[in-house]
Amino acid sequence: MEPLDLESRPPRSPREQMLGVYFLPRTIDKIRAELPGGKPGGYIVVGPDSMSAYLLHKLRIAVDDLREVVAHAADEDEVVAWLRERVDPAVVEPLNAKLLGSRIDAAPPDKQEIIRERHPVLATRPDIENAFQLLEADDAWHFAKR
């Protein structure tokens, strides 16, 4: 697959699905940005409190395995075929419910502080309630500044 430049555009929306799983296309975009010639633009796949890391953990997919597949795949169809063999359909619905239900105000105070530091858009958007809204607003805010 070709590398992505996430300094010129954001990864796909967290609401986009692959094999019925939210956030998976976004995670793949962030991995593609890590490829030689790509530009992550501040997006991370693995790190403290990373949704991509959480997603892959719940799917029982090692991030390095997925990185390897993305790096050598001719196209996204190859990545989907590889994932299809590994994603347990029984995990998808509860995982999606957890992702959709990730409310900012439900996070412990120390996590809320980290979230607000990482996502300054929250200072101007008190209407944002969940992680999906936050990431979409953060992408829009970040790229509107350019």
| pTM of the model as a whole | 0.92
Specify the pLDDT at position 72.
97
Sequential pLDDT tens for the chain (146 residues): 999 999 999 999 999 999 999 999 999 999 999 999 999 998 888 876 788 999 999 999 999 999 999 999 999 999 999 999 999 999 999 999 999 999 998 989 888 888 888 888 999 998 999 999 999 999 998 887 65
Specify the pLDDT at position 48.
64
Specify the pLDDT at position 112.
86
Specify the pLDDT at position 141.
87
**What per-residue string of b and e applies to 74-112 under the rule 16 or more CB within 10 Å gives b?**
eeeeebbebbeeebeeeebeebeeebeebebeeeeeeee
The SS3 call for residue 21 is strand
Specify the pLDDT at position 68.
97
Specify the pLDDT at position 118.
86
Specify the pLDDT at position 145.
62
Specify the pLDDT at position 67.
96
Distance of CA 76 to the CA centre of its chain: 16
Judge whether 53 and 45 are in contact, CB under 8 Å. Answer: yes
Residue spans of the domains in the chain: they are 1-100, 102-146
